[in-house]
A and B are shown apart, each in its own frame.
Chain A
Amino acid sequence: MVPNSDREEKIPIWRDERFWKIALQVFVLVAVILIVSTLFGNAFRTLQQQGRQFNFNFLGNPASFNIGESVIPYQAQDPYWKAFLVGLVNTLRLILVGFVLTTVFGVLTGIASFSNNWLLRKLSQVYVELIRNTPLLLQLFVWYFGVVFGLAGNEPRQILGSFFITKLNGGGVFIPWMASTSTAYISLGLLVAAIVALFVIWQWRLKIMETQGASGKPQQMAMLVIGAIALLLLVIGLNWQTPQPNETGVITGGLRMSLEYAAILGGLFFYTGAFIAEIVRAGIQSVSRGQWEAARALGLNAGFVMRLVVFPQALRVIIPSLNSQYMNLAKNSSLALAIGYPDIYSTASTTFNQTGRPIEVFFIIAATYLSINLVISLVMNRLNQSVQLMER
């Protein structure tokens, strides 16, 4: 067979795939640029007609609104950027506590759906089905107007022994907390150091017991001693204060959480906990039954099977999905606007109402939430890498 002539056959350009690939991209790029420039052009022209400029100078102007609760000192004459900072701190305060509570609650509920107690299993299933099928905003309203306002009255009311809730003087939920004296803070620092030391000695003991066959007894003594010191520090050194109402009804001592904070924290962790429970349940179900049976055959009882064998393997499946649930919790915290808790979104909304600058305020909000989600993703990806299978 004679090969064809070495002059390559000229393919007409409309049948050349490379041309179409580039043409399609150029077309899409031009279309997107046209649409975006039309939209923003309209927006800038309308803004100019109304005398508004697009810049961020308003951030230095005094904000003229009060913020309901703030960790850093803030007055109404402070500039807008400080108001945003206060909002950001409030959001972080809500999100971080929410992460801890929802993880603990969700994991416990997920594990409870495998309990050999029928009531506990059904309770977990009913909780998940009920909470996942009701809108979050409705649940937040029920928590705020129903639960928190229902419990709080005009007199301080005691709940579960040492918690107080009241509507007086701005209202709040009061929980026992450590004192703010310097000895208490020093005790807290020493307690953290003791816990770190315990962890380090524990890992060291396991390592030398496995590699050198050492008895591990001196380390065990050291751990017991440090554990006793830590316990003393925890119980006595931190100087726990229980809230007490005095004669006028003002509650002193303890930590005050505002009613709005309590309501939105409760609503958020309860809602996200149901989703995390489903994820944990799916993760545990993904571990093959053979693992359970082999662990029982070795003589481990149900608690040890879950803790030592099944749950660490389930973590591989659970952690990637947990990432999106944490991001959902961070984004759902913006619903604090409906409750009246001053998080960053509600601060931005008030700023927009006062300054009438939608595009700048939207940039700030988008940047804030995108950075929060990015940090969450980075941390969860790192965690994910540490539990994935090490393949050679």
Chain B
Amino acid sequence: MTTTFPPSSAGPPDKVALGAIGWMRKNLFNSWLNGILSLVILYFFVSIGLSLFQWATTTAQWEVIPANWPLYFAGRYPSEQYWRLWMIVGIIATLSGLSWGVLARNSPKVYGIGGLFALGGLTLFSFIAPTPIPYRLLMVGMVILLAATTWVGHQAGRSVPSLGKWVSFAWMASFFVVMWLMAGGFGLPPVSTNNWGGLLLTLFISVVSIFLCFPLGILLALGRQSTLPVIRLISVLYIEIVRGVPLIAILFIGQNMIPLFLPTGIRPANVLRAIIGLTIFSAAYLAENVRGGIQAIPRGQIEASNALGINSFLTTLFIVLPQALKVSIPAIVGQFISLFQDTTLLSIVSILELLGIGRSVLANPNFIGRYWEVYLFVGVIYWLFCYLMSLGSRRIEKSLTTSH
């Protein structure tokens, strides 16, 4: 005889809509300890917030930022050559817009909520930035360029499937164009690297270092995994020694010992020495991240590839590395964010990147003691860049996840 069960009440339980008081009771005050803790934290934050607001509007002297605005962003770049920097911003805006459009080609909305917020924020910033009006108009123009190329990329990405490859190729070509525009030569008046500074120099050093440390890091990771004892020993020695020494020691060596190591008479620019130091340092960390990715690939992949008759070099190139790099993307982007933050150490070896410019502005007798204003401004710039990069990394990770 089958047992019949009484009919259960239909549907899932009702969702209780909590009002504001109910939400506070559930999340903030649900026990005595929590209640006291919530009150203490609220009091703490309200008092700090009020005193911060009071400081920001009364005792803080914000002139230190508008007065040195070009210094923060371009260092001592000659002002009559600023049009070259604006061309670089234009090229980057165009390519970023195209890449964004191509990456988002499958979504129905072109921009998405986050994108609209970002565009709105940029426009707002262009309106309130303390620069002369023509530059503000130029910035608004760049934002419009970004939005337009995103739309173009979105539309074209659907009709031309291989647009992504062309955009990647354009990024690589743009690197050389940007270098030509920044440094001069071949028809443009040259600007010495000693005059580069501020956010321009920070971005340049970070991008070049990460670009150069990629091949070196991958070679070291493969070398460490290798079965050949000599190569393995050299890779391990390099990675362990470079990871054991603080970055500032490597930067000092870069500044002081590179002229010693080269034949007499050759004195590379300070910026070049800094880039070499940062590349050597990042390659060791990148090698460890990529090694983690390589170890995550099941042995069956290599065995299947050998069974197909593919030799080990091609196996590594076409089977192992693409999968390893995809797995280690979060770690690699984390490494890039650390590298971006580590460029601040260059201010100790007297290279005037963004933090170095901040310190030299503070050494100006007119602006003595304006620590909080300058460091807050510089800190917000760094925070924005790093936070956006980490958001982008989560996005890339999500879009490349092929597992279900």
A residues within 8 A CB of B359? 141
B319-354 CB mask vs A (1 if < 8 Å, else 0) is 000000000000000000100011011011000000
Decide: B257 and A46 in contact? CB cutoff 8 A: no
Decide: B260 and A369 in contact? CB cutoff 8 A: no
Q: Which one of A25, A43, A137 contacts B257 once the chains associate, using CB atoms below 8 Å? A: A43
Q: In the complex, how many angstroms separate the beta carbon of A374 from the nearest chain B beta carbon?
A: 8
Is B86 part of the binding interface, using a Cβ–Cβ cutoff of 8 Å? no
Main secondary structure of the interface of B (DSSP, over half): helix
Q: In the complex, how many angstroms separate the beta carbon of B96 from the nearest chain A beta carbon?
A: 20
B residues within 8 A CB of A28? 230-231, 234
Decide: B379 and A138 in contact? CB cutoff 8 A: yes
B residues within 8 A CB of A32? 234
Cα–Cα distance between A24 and B42 once the two chains are bound (Å): 66
Decide: A117 and B241 in contact? CB cutoff 8 A: no
Cα–Cα distance between A374 and B264 once the two chains are bound (Å): 37
B residues within 8 A CB of A42? 260-264
Decide: A370 and B246 in contact? CB cutoff 8 A: no
B residues within 8 A CB of A43? 257, 260-261
Q: In the complex, how many angstroms separate the beta carbon of B288 from the nearest chain A beta carbon?
A: 9
Is B47 part of the binding interface, using a Cβ–Cβ cutoff of 8 Å? no
Is B386 part of the binding interface, using a Cβ–Cβ cutoff of 8 Å? yes
Decide: A331 and B375 in contact? CB cutoff 8 A: no
Q: In the complex, how many angstroms separate the beta carbon of A368 from the nearest chain B beta carbon?
A: 10
Which residue from chain A places its CB closest to the CB of B266 in the assembled complex? Answer: A42
A residues within 8 A CB of B342? 135
B residues within 8 A CB of A45? 264
**A366 and B241 contact, Cβ closer than 8 Å, known pairs A116-B34, A136-B341:** yes
Interface size on B, residues (CB 8 A): 49
Is B214 part of the binding interface, using a Cβ–Cβ cutoff of 8 Å? no
Which residue from chain B places its CB closest to the CB of A130 in the assembled complex? Answer: B383
**A141 and B375 contact, Cβ closer than 8 Å, known pairs A358-B260, A362-B249, A369-B246:** yes
**A334 and B248 contact, Cβ closer than 8 Å, known pairs A117-B38, A123-B41, A134-B382:** yes
A313-331 CB mask vs B (1 if < 8 Å, else 0) is 0000000000000010001
Decide: A135 and B260 in contact? CB cutoff 8 A: no
Cα–Cα distance between A373 and B371 once the two chains are bound (Å): 34
Main secondary structure of the interface of A (DSSP, over half): helix
B residues within 8 A CB of A116? 27, 30, 34
Q: Which of A135, A137, A141, A370 has the most CB of B within 10 A?
A: A135
Cα–Cα distance between A373 and B249 once the two chains are bound (Å): 15
Which residue from chain A places its CB closest to the CB of B42 in the assembled complex? Answer: A119
**A134 and B246 contact, Cβ closer than 8 Å, known pairs A42-B260, A117-B28:** no
A327-348 CB mask vs B (1 if < 8 Å, else 0) is 1000110110110000001000
Is A293 part of the binding interface, using a Cβ–Cβ cutoff of 8 Å? no
Is B128 part of the binding interface, using a Cβ–Cβ cutoff of 8 Å? no
Cα–Cα distance between A123 and B42 once the two chains are bound (Å): 11
Q: In the complex, how many angstroms separate the beta carbon of A160 from the nearest chain B beta carbon?
A: 13
Q: In the complex, how many angstroms separate the beta carbon of B150 from the nearest chain A beta carbon?
A: 25
Is A19 part of the binding interface, using a Cβ–Cβ cutoff of 8 Å? no
Is A386 part of the binding interface, using a Cβ–Cβ cutoff of 8 Å? no
Is B372 part of the binding interface, using a Cβ–Cβ cutoff of 8 Å? yes
Decide: B246 and A334 in contact? CB cutoff 8 A: yes
B residues within 8 A CB of A210? none
Decide: B252 and A349 in contact? CB cutoff 8 A: yes
Decide: A25 and B230 in contact? CB cutoff 8 A: yes
B244-288 CB mask vs A (1 if < 8 Å, else 0) is 111111001100110011111000000000000000000000000
Cα–Cα distance between A262 and B151 once the two chains are bound (Å): 53
B residues within 8 A CB of A123? 41
B139-177 CB mask vs A (1 if < 8 Å, else 0) is 000000000000000000000000000000000000000
Decide: A117 and B37 in contact? CB cutoff 8 A: yes
A residues within 8 A CB of B400? none
Cα–Cα distance between A115 and B390 once the two chains are bound (Å): 25
B residues within 8 A CB of A146? 371-372, 375
Is B378 part of the binding interface, using a Cβ–Cβ cutoff of 8 Å? yes
Decide: B248 and A337 in contact? CB cutoff 8 A: yes
Which residue from chain A places its CB closest to the CB of B375 in the assembled complex? Answer: A142
Decide: A369 and B42 in contact? CB cutoff 8 A: no
Q: Which one of A24, A118, A335 contacts B28 once the chains associate, using CB atoms below 8 Å? A: A118
B residues within 8 A CB of A129? 387
Which residue from chain A places its CB closest to the CB of B253 in the assembled complex? Answer: A362
Decide: B249 and A334 in contact? CB cutoff 8 A: yes
Is B355 part of the binding interface, using a Cβ–Cβ cutoff of 8 Å? yes
Is A248 part of the binding interface, using a Cβ–Cβ cutoff of 8 Å? no
A-B contacts besides A335-B248, A335-B345, A345-B246, 17 pairs, CB < 8 Å: A117-B37, A118-B27, A119-B27, A119-B28, A123-B41, A137-B344, A138-B355, A138-B375, A138-B382, A141-B371, A142-B371, A149-B371, A331-B244, A352-B252, A362-B249, A365-B245, A366-B241
**A–B pairs, 18, beta carbons within 8 Å:** A24-B228, A28-B234, A115-B34, A117-B30, A117-B34, A132-B386, A133-B390, A138-B355, A142-B371, A145-B371, A327-B244, A331-B246, A337-B248, A345-B248, A362-B249, A366-B245, A370-B240, A373-B244
Q: Which 4 A-B pairs have the closest CB atoms?
A: A118-B27, A133-B386, A135-B341, A334-B246
